[in-house]
Structure 1
Amino acid sequence: MIIYEATKEEFMNDVTDDSIAVKIHESYLQKIGKVSLGEINSWNNSMNYMYKVLNTPIIPDDVGVAIEYKVPTTSRRIDFMLTGLDEKDRYSVVIVELKQWSALNKVESLDGLVETVINKRLGKHTHPSYQAYTYAKLISDYNESVQNELISLYPCAYLHNYIREDDDPLTDDIYENWISEAPVFTKGDALKLRGFISTYIKKSDRKKSLYLIEHGKIKPSKSLQDSLLKMLEGNEEFLMIDEQKVAYEVAILMAKKAQTTDRKQVLIVEGGPGTGKSVLAINLLVQLTAQEMVCQYVTKNSAPREVYTKRLQRGYKKTVINNLFKSSGVYYEALPNEFDALIVDEAHRLNEKSGLFKNKGENQMMEIIRAAKCSIFFIDEYQKVSMQDVGNKEQIKQFAKLYDAEVVEIELESQFRCNGSDGYLAWLDDMLAIRETANSDGFDIQYDFRVFDDPNELRNEIFKKNHNNKARMLAGYCWDWIRDGKSNPEVHDIYLEEHQFSASWNLNNTQTWAIDPESVEQVGCIHTSQGLEFDYVGVIIGEDLRYMDGKVVTDPFKRAKTDKSLSGFKSLYKKDKNKALRIADQIIKNTYRTLLTRGMKGCYIYCVDPLLREYFLERLSSQKSITYPLYEEREYAVAEERTSYVTGEKLRK
């Protein structure tokens, strides 16, 4: 997606008559939504500087200009692109990362990071050259047109407010690797940037390369489970951008610091679905292990561990694998500081007690902090899907204080799943009445979201999309798990009489259902899909989520008897009805939020409740922009027995 597209001549005219920011803003509102005043001001400022750079006949008037191009598979956007042909008539694109920064500090201990003030807060951010390079790399990795048409990308950064001095931190030797990949220009460098652009763009291609990039097919991205083996062998499989890179470098530094001091280190990394938490966790496992630290990847959910284990059995002994991936319930007997680092994925799913009968240990958060010199928690409290899920930031910080640990918090924002659409996730939250968002009228991206009237049609579409074993059916846990293994193949757990639809839960391959080829015939639940991702998912929404009296309501009494995620609900309901309904409401909505965000490219749904189906269709019809398939204290609304209840340091120039 490109917000603003023009020739150089048209761009220059828009800047001359002071309409450039207005045109960018109008297009942004139409394609994405609201934008801050600060961003509008930055457009005004930066585009005037780019006018000076391009004000020369050396760069032809009819070369292409693109502003705010969305980076494939992420929610990030490239500030400015110029497209044309080089001296040998090959497609050539110059990428310019624009910065308003006027000052920064170098950060010697963290690769590729600097320290500067953004929104009046001093913080660590990726070096502009690193940022420009990784954005270009992501385009070349994921845009098929760039690869097939041999489009060359030349990234750079332009800090037009930054005055460079002798021995300047921006161009310090520690950033040499990144600056060599993407040169950095500062205030007074307009002619140098002009020379950089004119080196690679000699003539117009009539915006053809711009068209190819904008309409290029996004190749299937590498999934974490497929790339794990290569990662553990030391290959770079996933590029980390922006705050991902910050979190990675901070985690490495804290782990090293914990080795040389007596003080424990605790890092809390918060991020929604698809923000790269699991990728970061595996990258850290690889890097810290390579540095000969004793570390483990920890998650309560067994499905990701088993998937990773199966993938790794091709190259590692099972004993080695099992020592890398652990359940969260094994640390109650661990010695203090027994591990150099424990990397906890899905930390929101941690329990209080451990053991089969939940009678061992005291608290899994506390036990992990006690057992590790450095503990790293990846958390999203909106993904709690069980009454036993107690992991939360505040308790982690309390236990860290108990052990006098140093605590650092980082938030991940870049979105990689759901085709990189932050808007889709915000729209879902608004749709499910989890929280009010600015995306009540739709989302901003080409994400394949469809509502089906017939579950058989949904299943057929998932079969079509499963050509690479990356499409799956999922469902809310509203049907009992009754099928007795392979001995009763004709017995189906899920049956929808209206459509003569029947299907079975994944009984025989619960742990590796996500990657087993026959799994497309079965339906997965929250316990076999959380923490994993697919290209496409088809989600059957059961009667535990309905639409009544103008509200999305939940009904815990429609959950299956075999569902353990609401274990304890009935006893709590007898003691405190409102509290029980409030907790169940959160769990049910979080469950569907998680299921509906497992798809990288698309999500298809069928709602058992026809009114909920109409509600989804109505909300989709109000989309502010058309979506196309890719590739070919808050109030709670709870239904109970069909009744609705509402219960800094100075910067160096």
Structure 2
Amino acid sequence: MTRYTASGFGVPGEAEVRSWRNSWPPLFKALVRAGLSDMWVYLEYGTPGGGRRLDALLIGAGPDAVLGLVVVELKQWQTCRILDATRVQRSDGVVTAHPVHQVDAYRSFFTHWRPKSAPVLDVRAVVVLHDATAEEGAVLLAGAGGGERAGIPVLTAEDLSRPGRELAGLLQAGDLEAPDPRQVMVFEHIRWEPSSRLLEHVGAELEGSGTFALVGDQQDALLRILASAAQHLPAPESDYQAQEGPVGGAVITVSGGPGSGKTALAVRLLGRLMRAYPAAHPCFITPSGTLRAHLLDAVRSQKAAPELFPGIGALRSTAQRAGALVIDEAQRINRAGSRGLPPDLGAVVKKVPLAVIFLDERQVIRPGEGTTVEEIRAATRALGRTHQHLDLTGSFRCAGSAAYTDWVDALLYSDPVPWAGHEGYDLATAQDPFALQEWIEQATADGHTARTAAGFCWPWPRDRPRTPVLPLDISIEVPTPTSSGGTRVWEAAWNARTALTAPDGTVLAPKSQLWASHTGGHQQIGCIYTAQGLEYHHAGVIIGPDLTWTHGRWAAHPEESRDKELRGLPPEQYLRYALNIYRVLLTRGTHTTRIHSTDRKTQHYLDTLIRPGSGSGSPR
């Protein structure tokens, strides 16, 4: 229990400790009986970002010295009711993930979060119901379906009593031997990270062939939403348009911080609803034009893409016809002067049979925004409809480092603390924008996506010439590293509003909404409006003169802003939005972040928090 708490999982409750005492002894007795005493065993193995803990993970050396992993899901159940291939209802009435579905997601995690530099892994999985009979285990296994989950056995008390090598085979470890300590050390130092980005696989996710693994509270949330869909949407074979009215009605809010997997879950949900309830015409809407542009770009080969991802201006009309509606970045919906819900969102809550609304209240970045979970809950209940709220607590960006996202929140909203390189996330400061630019260019040359985003503190004229050369609107004076006391001037261009190409066809700059991912974007500077909702491998962040560390606290300087929506605000009101903006910019990097402040005192303060050596220094 001491090590459990020291690992950051908190103090275990009585029920959890009781579960360990009931489940661990049968597992270890089985391992000894199977002749697997030399296997390495990790109990309560935490996935990155706190997404979920695995009950047990066995490590052994397989054929050709390939490291073999066996993910073990331990259950004390004897009986349960099979709802479908992904959900079961326990004897106490709780609906939860089917254990085979659950352990399959963990197996998929190890496959798809393994970095290219890590050794090849042979990942297997098994469910152990140590109190169940063979008949009860067979019922559970039969309800799991086949397909991707084929090959995951469900072992019962009878199986655990089988002799040596037979039991080892049932535990998926018959060909595994004691691992070399060096292999174990390499495994323990793997920095798990997504092998691909969501936007590269949106089409596959919608078709049901995606490879993104939803684990922990992501998986739980998906199952709970689908359960609500089964209750409030018409049967798949019925015609939604012919219904007298909505079949029941439910609004589900899903909260989560940056990188908690909101958009990944939303896209996976859209795909499931499309296949299960096509007559309900499920749609995905976001007030972020940048995120919508990337989604449309990712599925541009699909003719129905504009209908699946209508613009935010169509929210009210979509609410009149859709049976299921997924809304992402809902905190950014314009309130249009209303004191309660934004009128368009009010229409959704009133009309749509199943509305799933994703939001992060700390990503409100303009005065006309700011929908809250409480407002949605109150409006839903006032209409006599069902409301359910779900929280995503994991961190699946920033190398899965919950410590980094916690550090960012402490830096901006509470008491800043030194960064000590927790969980391996690569964070450092850049002493000037020249160094930051060089770092971005090197990362790009190495084949990674690398972008610099800045506070909106320099002019960005709307009427820019459509020429192969962008105006260098951003200008920052940098003291020269000599005793002369002179300065150099670093200049850069904001991202282009329209795509620019050279006469020979070379892409010089993508249009602003695709700046974060398309060729040439690393040569321009992005801002909150082109970065929010997206991610890239390496993130450079320039904190402009609108936010400084002064007298032990953050001070806002709205007069330094060039955003017409924010420039005229009082400092204390502007501070809220500035902190939220920089929180977004600081959490875009999946691998590394470099920070530079144009204010010398603020830069010095950041240098004291981020000690040299806590980042690796060069892009990976």
Number of the residue aligned with 2:10: 35
Distance 1:156 1:394, change over 3 A: same
Following superposition, the deviation at residue 380 of structure 1 comes to 1.0
The structure 2 residue matched to 1:175, chosen from 144, 159, 164, is: 144
Number of the residue aligned with 1:532: 534
- Cα distance in structure 1, aligned partners of 2:469 and 2:403: 41
Distance 1:146 1:419, change over 3 A: closer
Number of the residue aligned with 2:431: 453
**Alignment map for 1:275-354 (pairs within 5 Å):** 275-290=260-275, 291-292=277-278, 293-313=280-300, 315-317=301-303, 320-332=304-316, 334=317, 337-353=320-336
Distance 1:277 1:198, change over 3 A: closer
Distance 1:321 1:519, change over 3 A: same
For residues 346-402 of structure 1, what are the alpha-carbon distances to aligned partners after superposition, in whole Å with 9 as ceiling and x for unaligned?
A: 011112229xxx9xx962320222342211101111111111112111111222224
Following superposition, the deviation at residue 42 of structure 1 comes to 6.4
The structure 2 residue matched to 1:156, chosen from 91, 112, 126, is: 126
Code of the aligned partner of 1:343: V
Code of the aligned partner of 2:528: I
Over the aligned positions, Cα root-mean-square deviation in angstroms equals 3.6
Number of the residue aligned with 1:444: 422
- With 185-194 and 263-272 compared, the bigger mean Cα shift is at 185-194
Distance 1:402 1:84, change over 3 A: closer
Code of the aligned partner of 2:600: P
Query: Unpaired segments of 5 or more residues in structure 1?
Result: 1-20, 574-579, 633-653
Following superposition, the deviation at residue 345 of structure 1 comes to 0.3
Number of the residue aligned with 1:478: 457
Code of the aligned partner of 2:57: M
For residues 245-293 of structure 1, what are the alpha-carbon distances to aligned partners after superposition, in whole Å with 9 as ceiling and x for unaligned?
A: 2322333343343333632221111111112111122222223233323
Following superposition, the deviation at residue 134 of structure 1 comes to 1.7
Following superposition, the deviation at residue 528 of structure 1 comes to 0.7
SS across alignment from 2:264: helix
The structure 1 residue matched to 2:106, chosen from 122, 125, 135, is: 135
**Alignment map for 1:401-416 (pairs within 5 Å):** 401-416=381-396
- Cα distance in structure 2, aligned partners of 1:419 and 1:108: 35
Number of the residue aligned with 2:364: 384
- Cα distance in structure 1, aligned partners of 2:419 and 2:20: 26
1:247 aligns with 2:233: no
Code of the aligned partner of 2:490: F
SS across alignment from 1:445: helix
**Alignment map for 1:174-573 (pairs within 5 Å):** 174-177=143-146, 180-185=150-155, 190-191=160-161, 196-197=170-171, 199-216=173-190, 221-260=195-234, 262-290=247-275, 291-292=277-278, 293-313=280-300, 315-317=301-303, 320-332=304-316, 334=317, 337-353=320-336, 363-433=343-413, 435=414, 444-466=422-444, 467-468=446-447, 470-482=449-461, 484-487=464-467, 489=469, 491-498=471-478, 499-508=488-497, 509-551=511-553, 553-564=554-565, 566=566, 569-570=568-569, 573=570
- Cα distance in structure 2, aligned partners of 1:344 and 1:197: 43
Q: Quick check: 2:52–2:216 contact (8 Å CA) kept in 1?
A: no
Number of the residue aligned with 2:83: 108
Code of the aligned partner of 1:542: G
For residues 120-178 of structure 1, what are the alpha-carbon distances to aligned partners after superposition, in whole Å with 9 as ceiling and x for unaligned?
A: x98543333323222222212232579864x3222223455x55596579826323548
Following superposition, the deviation at residue 304 of structure 1 comes to 0.9
Following superposition, the deviation at residue 611 of structure 1 comes to 2.7
Q: Quick check: 1:163–1:187 contact (8 Å CA) kept in 2?
A: yes
Q: Quick check: 2:334–2:369 contact (8 Å CA) kept in 1?
A: yes
For residues 392-442 of structure 1, what are the alpha-carbon distances to aligned partners after superposition, in whole Å with 9 as ceiling and x for unaligned?
A: 111112222243221121111232111111221111111112x469x8765
Query: Unpaired segments of 5 or more residues in structure 2?
Result: 235-245, 479-487, 498-510
Matched length: 575
Number of the residue aligned with 2:32: 55
Code of the aligned partner of 1:281: A
Q: Quick check: 1:481–1:562 contact (8 Å CA) kept in 2?
A: no
- Cα distance in structure 2, aligned partners of 1:428 and 1:558: 25
Following superposition, the deviation at residue 100 of structure 1 comes to 6.8
TM-score w.r.t. length of structure 2: 0.82
- Cα distance in structure 2, aligned partners of 1:493 and 1:145: 39
- Cα distance in structure 1, aligned partners of 2:138 and 2:176: 33
- Cα distance in structure 2, aligned partners of 1:307 and 1:154: 35
Distance 1:217 1:403, change over 3 A: closer
